Structure formats: C-alpha cells, structure tokens
Chains A and B, each alone.
Chain A
Amino acid sequence: MSTWKVACLIAAKDLRVERRSKIVTNQVLPFAGITMVSFAFALDKQNVLDTVAPGLIWLATTFSLLILVQRSFSIETDDGALDAMRVAGIDARAIFLGKAMALAVQLLVLEILLLFAAVVFYGESIQSSGAQGPVLAVVLLVTTLVSATCGLAAVGTLYGGLAAGFKGSETLLPLLTLPAVAPVLIGATKAVESAVGTAGAVVSEGWQWVGLLAVFAVAFGIGGALAFGPLIDE
C-alpha cells in the first residue's frame, strides 16, 4: 500500500468515527456558533462588528481547531490505536496526512457555516464592485478558505500528535498552536476583509495574503509530514 492510500484510509476512518460519534456536529459546531454570538455581545456596536467580522470568523475557527485536534487525537489514544499503528509499521507520514485531511474536511465545513453565520449575524456580504463583479471576490474567498484550512490542519495535526496521550495535553496544545497559526489568523483575516470589502479593502489586495497562506500550508504540510515520525516515536 502506498503512503497516499493509507493516508486516505486513515482520513476515511477519522471521518467515519465522527459520523458515528457526532461530537463535531453536536458540540464543536454549537461552540463555534455561540462564540460568534458572544463576540456580538462583547463588541456591542453594529459598525464595529462590520469591521471586525472577518477576524472573528477566523478566531472562532482557531478556537474550534483546538477542540477538533483534541478530539482527533483522543480517538487515537483512548485505546492505544496510535501505538498500534506505530507498532504495525504504518508510515508516520501517512498518519499525519490522513489525520490532517480529515481535520481539514471538518474545518472547511465549520468555516463555511461560520461565514454564513457572519452573513446572518453581522450582515456581511461579498464584494460586488469592480469590473468582474462578485466573481473574483468569490474566487478569493474560496482560495483563502482552502489554503488557510490546509495550514491550520497541518499545524493542528503536528502539535496534536506531539501532545497526544500525555497528561496536560489539553493545556499544552493551545500554547503551541496559537503562536504557530498567527500567520494564518493574520493572512486569512486580511484576505477575507478584501473579499467582503471591509473598510474599503479591494479584492486585488487579497492575493498576497493567499500567497502567504499557501506558503504556510506547504511549509507546515511538508515539515509536519517529515517531523511526525520522530514526534510520535518513542
């Protein structure tokens, strides 16, 4: 079996576990939703919300990422399944890629729902000015979502695997993850600001941020795949 096929098996397995347990649907999505509502309480002005909405979407995503990663590795360590994979000689790169893919799928669903929440709660809308109308803005939004998600999933999987199964991993994970995903938080926020036209931002300004997100995703994707073996080894 190639690394890629095993990675797909692992991703499918993770998504199946989620379909059975419904933790993400029943707990993480409501958590993200209430986070968005709480932001509205804390930032009690419609014009403030308009301005900061893109940032809030990514903040809510980042917080949810921490819970998703926690969950993704607790299914592996509950009964020693991660150890079993290691003992069976399954390629660590496959484990990393598989878990990151499953995480990315869940994050993507979450982000799309959060975008809708921003439209509903904060009154955001896609930028439709300019020659091409909303088309370019939508393309920018989609590429931002995809590249940011890949970066977040890679970092989350990397640090989740590092802390997996250790006492205190719940508190260690945010400490490691949040500084590392700062570029995603910055880049994705700026790119979405361009796509929805916050404070006069235009679509063309967004592409440099997508570039940053892509570089980040590639760096942590490759770095994570290489580093994962020694990290989970003993």
Chain B
Amino acid sequence: MTTIDPARTELQPSEPQPSRRSTGTRATRLVGIGCITAMGWLVAFGLGFSPADRDQKESVRILYVHVPTIWLAYLAFVVTAVSSGLYLFTKKQSLGWDRAAGASAEIGVAFVAVTLAVGSLWGRLTWGVFWQWDARLTTTALLFVTYIGYLAVRRLGGSHQQRAKRSAVLGMIAVVEIPLVHFSVKMWRSLLAEALVANLDGDLRWTGSCCSASSSASSPSRSCTSG
C-alpha cells in the first residue's frame, strides 16, 4: 500500500507564487541588464581593445575565459559544500540549502566543462597538445566527473528529504575526496609551472574578475529555477 506518493509532494511549491511566468524581481532584472552590458564591454575589451600578449600572442585571450570560469567553478563547489553542510548541520534542515547546493553544483559543472574545453584549445596553441597529464589538469578532470556523479545522485528517486540528505552527504564527501585526489595526482606528476592563476599580471586578473563576477551574477537565476 502506498499511502501518499512522495514524488508528488515535490511538485507542490513551498509557497504560493503570485505569477508563474517569472521568478525575477526588479533587482534581478537590474543586475541582469548590468551583466549584459558589462559582458558586452568585456567581449569588446577582451577580444579587441586589449593588446596581444608578447609571448602567447592572440591566444592569451583564451585565458580571459579560462581562468575566470575555473574560479567560478571552484566558488560554485564551495557554495555546494557549504550549503550541504548547512543543510545537514542546522537543526531545521531547510530544503532551501539543498536547492542552493544543487543549483550551485550545476553551475560548477557547466563552468568546469567550459574551463576544460577552452583550456585544451589554449594547450594546443601554447604546448602543441590538447591535453597534458599534469596534476592540475588531471585533478580538474576528476573534479568534473565527481560533480557529474553528484548531479546524477540528485536524479535518483526517493523523497525530497531523502534526496537532500543523500546529496548533502555526497557534497561533504567531495570535500574529503577532492583534496585527496589533488594531493595524490600532484605526487604523481606535475609538469606545469606553479600556479598559473596566481602569477598573472594585474591587467589579466582585473579582466578575469569582472568576467567571473558578471557570469556568476547571471547564471544562478537561470539555474535556480531548474533546481
């Protein structure tokens, strides 16, 4: 006998929404318009107005996307871990934290995918190969697969609470897993010069932060509606 189908409960919105057309508010629209403007400016600046690099020539422009996307992905995974922790360890076990964790992981996976794709193009131009078995690349690839697994777990059946608990635990396990993977892969080999992210000059960093900020502001609003 099934008393009540738990899946049905998920369809119930937690609070009645006045309009089903949009989740936006005036503030999010303003931020969105700001983002689009800023991104237009960034594209123009990144692709056209800024000078080419002395060594890497035009291919340096790839890094304007590559570096901020991975920063954003890291940030997204941190948000996932923190939200998972808040879900598990706060007394109320609010499902809002679960949704935040899931939405953030989606953003993270999408941006790691961009990082890997763009990075391999940059690698082909700079190193002559698409892929190097370098510590950071390998860890990033495993990080990607780990969070694809996390998203797959979120699609397993069960009640909303069950899913929330399960994925929150997985979100926390990833915090143990990723450093171990990174450490071991680093022990395994490291070809790339230390810290591409840290050694960039100021101009690149500034552009990167802008891009990362604008992307992070625009993507959650999309992802939250699906999460």
Direct contact of A and B (CB under 8 A): yes
Contact A186–B188 (Cβ < 8 Å): yes
Q: Which of B136-171 contact A (CB under 8 A)?
A: 142, 145-146, 148-149, 152-153, 156-159, 161-162, 165-166, 168-170
Contact B166–A230 (Cβ < 8 Å): yes
What B residues does A179 contact at CB under 8 A? 142, 145-146, 149, 177, 181
Interface presence of B173 (CB below 8 A): yes
Chain B contact surface mostly: helix
Interface presence of B183 (CB below 8 A): yes
* Given A166-B156, A179-B142, A234-B159, A216 contacting B149 (CB threshold 8 A): no
* Given A219-B180, A230-B88, A178 contacting B152 (CB threshold 8 A): no
What A residues does B180 contact at CB under 8 A? 183, 215-216, 219
Q: Mark A166-191, 1 if CB is under 8 A from B, else 0.
A: 11110010011011101100110010
Identify which of B142, B146, B158, B169 contacts A227 (C-beta below 8 A).
B169
CB-nearest residue of chain B to A211 = B187
Contact A167–B153 (Cβ < 8 Å): no
Interface presence of A123 (CB below 8 A): no
Q: Which of B159-202 contact A (CB under 8 A)?
A: 159, 161-162, 165-166, 168-170, 172-173, 176-177, 180-181, 183-185, 187-188
Interface presence of A38 (CB below 8 A): no
What A residues does B188 contact at CB under 8 A? 186, 190
Interface presence of A96 (CB below 8 A): no
What B residues does A167 contact at CB under 8 A? 156-157
* Given A220-B176, A227-B173, A172 contacting B149 (CB threshold 8 A): yes
What B residues does A175 contact at CB under 8 A? 145, 148-149, 152
Identify which of A168, A212, A219 contacts B187 (C-beta below 8 A).
A212
A151 → chain B, closest Cβ, in Å? 10
Measured CA separation A227–B152 after assembly (Å):
18
Q: Mark A192-234, 1 if CB is under 8 A from B, else 0.
A: 0000000000000000110010011001100100010011011
Q: How many residues of A contact B (CB 8 A)?
A: 31
Interface presence of A158 (CB below 8 A): yes
Measured CA separation A162–B153 after assembly (Å):
9
Contact B145–A178 (Cβ < 8 Å): yes
* Given A179-B181, A219-B180, A230 contacting B153 (CB threshold 8 A): no
Measured CA separation A178–B149 after assembly (Å):
10
A138 → chain B, closest Cβ, in Å? 24
Interface presence of A163 (CB below 8 A): yes
* Given A176-B149, A212-B184, A162 contacting B166 (CB threshold 8 A): yes
Q: Which of A33-65 contact B (CB under 8 A)?
A: none
Measured CA separation A71–B93 after assembly (Å):
33
Measured CA separation A186–B146 after assembly (Å):
17
Contact A187–B184 (Cβ < 8 Å): yes
Contact A176–B165 (Cβ < 8 Å): no
What B residues does A168 contact at CB under 8 A? 152, 156
Measured CA separation A190–B184 after assembly (Å):
11
Contact A231–B156 (Cβ < 8 Å): no
B172 → chain A, closest Cβ, in Å? 7
Contact A158–B173 (Cβ < 8 Å): yes
Contact A176–B153 (Cβ < 8 Å): yes
Cβ-closest 3 pairs across A and B: A183-B184, A176-B149, A179-B142
Taking beta carbons and an 8 Å cutoff, which residues of A are in contact with B?
A: 158, 162-163, 166-169, 172, 175-176, 178-180, 182-183, 186-187, 190, 208-209, 212, 215-216, 219-220, 223, 227, 230-231, 233-234
A167-B156, A227-B172 given; 16 more Cβ-contact pairs under 8 Å: A162-B169, A166-B158, A168-B152, A172-B149, A175-B148, A175-B149, A176-B152, A179-B145, A186-B185, A212-B184, A215-B180, A216-B184, A230-B168, A230-B169, A231-B166, A234-B159
What are 28 of the A-B contact pairs (CB < 8 Å)?
A162-B166, A162-B169, A163-B153, A163-B156, A167-B156, A169-B156, A172-B149, A175-B149, A176-B149, A176-B153, A179-B145, A179-B149, A179-B181, A180-B146, A182-B184, A182-B185, A183-B180, A183-B181, A183-B183, A183-B185, A186-B187, A187-B184, A187-B187, A212-B183, A230-B88, A230-B169, A234-B158, A234-B162
